[in-house]
Amino acid sequence: MNLVDRFLHYVSFDTQSDELTHMTPSTPGQMIFAQELEKELKRIGMTEVSLDENGYLMASLPSNTSKNIPVIGFIAHLDTSPDLSGRHVTPRIIKNYNGCDIPLCPEEDIILRTEDFPEVKKYIGQDLIVTNGKTLLGADDKAGIAEIISAMEYLIQHPEIKHGKIRVAFTPDEEIGKGPHKFDVKKFGADWAYTLDGGEIGELEYENFNAAVAKILFKGRNVHPGYAKHKMINSLRIANQYAIMLPRWETPEHTEGYEGFYHLISCEGTVEQTTLTYIIRDHDRDRFERRKKEFEHLVRKINKEFPNCASLEIKDQYYNMREMVEPVMHIVDLASQAMKEVGIVPVVKPVRGGTDGAQLSFMGLPCPNIFAGGHNFHGRYEFVPIQSMEKAKDVIIQIAKLAAEK
């Protein structure tokens, strides 16, 4: 299969993750997909192919030179986001895109409008893979998987390109923040690695958010509303009071770049009991810690007015990988040079999110993030230019080549 064929085959697998199952992988589709990839890796000639009971698939491309070259890894994730269905994905290729709005599902008036997504116009004249408007596409991160495997196959077929040992890994449950939780860094055995999990062409990232999830439980007291005066305590109203005490401009829809935010992702409740779930994000560690302290402060404030009503649970999820990557910045420079040599202008910027590489970097495997080429991840308007995927494959090959030349 060529790169596009691979990708179109991969997105046919339903691999949505699910944080409620408390299993690894969290859904059976991920293991089915991993087993398919295991066969493919063996078929193209990869060695040391191993798939464990948790869905972590690893393989090696042996060195073809006697030089002492660091072992480099490339990593992508098997799962797709729980935010929208990844079942029965039926992608469509738009050849030589003309810059107009793209009807995805005309009968339901689902259209990728250039007014809403102006970035699509960057790809006039290129070939785009889009959804049918009813599911996500899965470029996050099946584009990354297809690029890595296609690059490995190319290197196997072109032994004149000298390279050191290369390790690849495909992990489950990245979308629910658990990708690295059972990743065996020692077994992987790379000196450093790159995740192929970024967005548009040129992205090169070694900074990401510090991240936490906060749950605030509000307990109320229900009484018949006709006789509720001075008796009822409505947890829904108290939860709403808490929510509006947070700065309204420090939310995802009002922030960019290095600006952090509070993001309300779930509200479930009745008069008796309500739970608000937030994610807390900031690139700066001190500001991140202050954001968590603000949640504690507001809970105390609520409890002063409504004694023992609110309780808070905060869990850190991951930290900014910059702390671990800066001491080995040559690995970022290597990726940047590889991009330039295949005709790409590197766009070095902070990730407004997280990758497996963030956690892996703190586990002893420095792991910057490289573009996979897609746009509008996690939704029906997701698309990926084929030419961007091809360039990502070229970058992987060039990294391997440059590492052998140093």
Provide the annotated active-site residues.
79, 174
Q: Measured between alpha carbons, how far is 313 from 215 in angstroms, rounded to an integer?
A: 5
Q: Measured between alpha carbons, how far is 14 from 79 in angstroms, rounded to an integer?
A: 8
Q: Measured between alpha carbons, how far is 182 from 172 in angstroms, rounded to an integer?
A: 9
* Contact assessment for residue 78 and residue 15, using Cβ atoms and an 8 Å cutoff: yes
| Cα 331 → chain centroid | 20
Q: Measured between alpha carbons, how far is 295 from 310 in angstroms, rounded to an integer?
A: 11
Residue with tokens 């040079």: 337
Q: Measured between alpha carbons, how far is 389 from 98 in angstroms, rounded to an integer?
A: 19
Q: Does residue 85 sit in helix, strand or coil?
A: coil
Q: Measured between alpha carbons, how far is 38 from 42 in angstroms, rounded to an integer?
A: 6
Q: Give the containing element (helix H, strand E) for 104.
A: strand 102-105
Residue 398 tokens read as: 């060039």
Q: Give the containing element (helix H, strand E) for 128.
A: strand 128-130
| Beta pairing, strands 128-130 & 383-385 | antiparallel
Q: Measured between alpha carbons, how far is 365 from 380 in angstroms, rounded to an integer?
A: 34
The DSSP bridge partners found for residue 77 are 171
Burial class (CB in 10 A: 0-12, 13-18, 19+), 309: buried
DSSP string, 5-18: HHHHHHTTS--B--
